[in-house]
């Protein structure tokens, strides 16, 4: 899927459905998300005051029940607002707020079945596409750990499962096997090495989910998509400010959040780097994140949860590689791509990282042990 444009008059029609004052003055595509179509627009009130917002078309091919998804976000952000306020924070900047439609809904469905939502744009914030310093990464880790802890008492039974089996790695593995067998685009012959890499590690795919099923790992409320560009930093203090992209908040394992952050942020290369020589696990970033995440969780992790954090990093990286490769084989229908072979490039970086984690396994385990003392 490619990035969509949005004409001003179309945007005006959509925005007019929401309880907002003023006229729309500009709209532009925004951000680098792989899933939703995101735009930023400005509204000018009659007195001349301008306010910016984020307008998103929820990808309803991926999120099949946008109404349920929005209910999750409204409930979680309402809960977070009260936790943030009682800790003396500023809920307007530290969590998202859903702007209601004029008839009191959480999103607007257009005639083509597009589903739109609006959040205030969080001013004075920056979004990092790549780790620029260990301190930023550490701060993001504290924030993600905190986030998980803030939601510890959120009634998990209230949450809808927005994407079933989202981080069920064995299910992702079976989807890859199926895509390779079906080979609808005739691409399987060109990715034998990548398929062999993935299949050779299939036995490990269920390590975490088996422990969960046996009750040895606790189910918590997790974010499930904790890459660095899903957190906003304060432009001035450069402190982690607000966790965004709440579409996949669901019951899950802490390893999903820890692991997804590591696979994206502790890599020396970008997710779609084509020179694999540049892609490895930066152990000092791994350490910074581990330290921050454990601090944010503030002692709430069990011994076994903490000990399995390296496995979380490896499995989330492996799983993401499998997902990119599956999408490549299926004709790039899930993740947005910006060039030919983009998903294959992404799959390769993830597998390169997995291989490097295997090399650095002892060090990763030692770091987690040290940080958890």
Helix (H, G, I), strand (E, B), or coil: what is residue 371? helix
Nearer to ligand GN1 by Cβ, of 180 and 244: the residue is: 244
230 contacts ligand GN1 (rule: CB under 6 A): yes
35 contacts ligand ADP (rule: CB under 6 A): yes
* All residues at 6 or more sequence positions from 28 whose CB lies less than 8 Å from its CB, including other chains: 39, 40, 41
Site for ligand GN1 in 307-346 (CB under 6 A): 320
Nearer to ligand GN1 by Cβ, of 247 and 287: the residue is: 247
30 contacts ligand ADP (rule: CB under 6 A): yes
Site for ligand ADP in 222-241 (CB under 6 A): 229-230, 232
Tell me how far apart the alpha carbons of residues 169 and 167 are, in angstroms, rounded to a whole number.
6
Rounded alpha-carbon distances, angstroms, from residue 221 to 166, 315, 365: 14, 19, 25
Site for ligand GN1 in 233-292 (CB under 6 A): 245, 247-248, 260, 271
335 contacts ligand ADP (rule: CB under 6 A): no
Compute, in degrees rounded to 10, the torsion defined by CA atoms 18, 243, 164, 14.
Answer: 20
227 contacts ligand GN1 (rule: CB under 6 A): yes
Cα 313 → chain centroid: 14
Determine the residue with CB nearest ligand GN1.
Answer: 34
127 contacts ligand ADP (rule: CB under 6 A): yes
Nearer to ligand GN1 by Cβ, of 101 and 223: the residue is: 223
Nearer to ligand ADP by Cβ, of 122 and 221: the residue is: 122
* All residues at 6 or more sequence positions from 172 whose CB lies less than 8 Å from its CB, including other chains: 165, 205, 319, 322, 323, 326
Nearer to ligand ADP by Cβ, of 55 and 150: the residue is: 55
Please measure the distance between the N-terminal and C-terminal CA atoms of the chain and give it in whole angstroms. 46
244 contacts ligand ADP (rule: CB under 6 A): yes
What sign for the dihedral angle of Cα 206, 263, 118, 154? positive
Helices (H), 114-168: 134-150
Nearer to ligand GN1 by Cβ, of 266 and 371: the residue is: 266
What element of type H or E holds 160? none
Number of residues that bind ligand ADP (CB under 6 A): 20
Tell me how far apart the alpha carbons of residues 292 and 137 are, in angstroms, rounded to a whole number.
8
Binding site for ligand ADP (CB under 6 A): 30-31, 33-36, 38, 54, 96, 119, 121-122, 125, 127, 229-230, 232, 244-245, 247
Binding site for ligand GN1 (CB under 6 A): 33-35, 225, 227, 230, 245, 247-248, 260, 271, 320
């Amino acid at each position: 899927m490619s990035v969509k444009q949005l004409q001003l008059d179309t945007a005006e029609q959509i925005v007019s459905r929401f309880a907002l004052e003023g006229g729309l003055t500009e709209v532009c595509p925004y951000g680098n998300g792989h899933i939703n179509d995101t735009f930023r627009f400005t509204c000018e009130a009659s007195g001349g005051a301008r306010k910016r917002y984020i307008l998103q078309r929820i990808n309803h091919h991926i999120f099949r029940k946008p109404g349920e998804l929005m209910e999750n976000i409204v409930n979680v952000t309402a809960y977070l607002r009260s936790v943030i306020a009682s800790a003396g924070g500023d809920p307007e900047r530290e969590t998202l707020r859903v702007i209601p439609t004029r008839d009191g809904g959480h999103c607007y469905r257009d005639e083509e079945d597009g589903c739109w939502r609006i959040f205030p744009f969080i001013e004075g914030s920056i979004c990092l596409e790549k780790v620029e310093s260990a301190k930023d990464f550490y701060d993001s880790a504290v924030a993600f750990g905190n986030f998980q802890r803030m939601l510890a008492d959120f009634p998990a039974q209230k949450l809808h499962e927005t994407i079933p089996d989202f981080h069920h790695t064995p299910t992702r593995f079976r989807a890859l096997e199926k895509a390779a067998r079906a080979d609808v685009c005739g691409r399987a012959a060109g990715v034998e090495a990548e398929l062999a890499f993935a299949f050779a590690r299939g036995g490990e795919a269920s390590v975490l989910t088996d422990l969960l099923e046996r009750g040895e790992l606790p189910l918590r409320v997790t974010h499930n998509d904790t890459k660095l560009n899903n957190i906003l930093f304060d432009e001035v203090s450069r402190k982690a400010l607000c966790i965004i992209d709440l579409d996949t908040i669901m019951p899950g394992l802490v390893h999903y959040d820890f692991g997804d952050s590591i696979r994206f942020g502790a890599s020396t290369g970008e997710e779609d780097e084509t020179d694999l020589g540049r892609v490895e696990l930066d152990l000092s970033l791994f350490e910074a994140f581990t330290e921050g995440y454990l601090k944010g969780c503030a002692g709430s992790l069990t011994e076994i949860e903490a000990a399995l954090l390296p496995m979380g990093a490896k499995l989330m990286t492996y799983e993401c590689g499998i997902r990119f490769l599956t999408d490549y084989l299926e004709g790039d229908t899930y993740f947005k791509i910006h060039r030919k072979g983009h998903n294959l490039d992404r799959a390769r970086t993830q597998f390169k990282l997995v291989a490097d984690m295997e090399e650095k396994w002892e060090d990763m385990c030692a770091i987690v042990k040290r940080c958890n003392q």
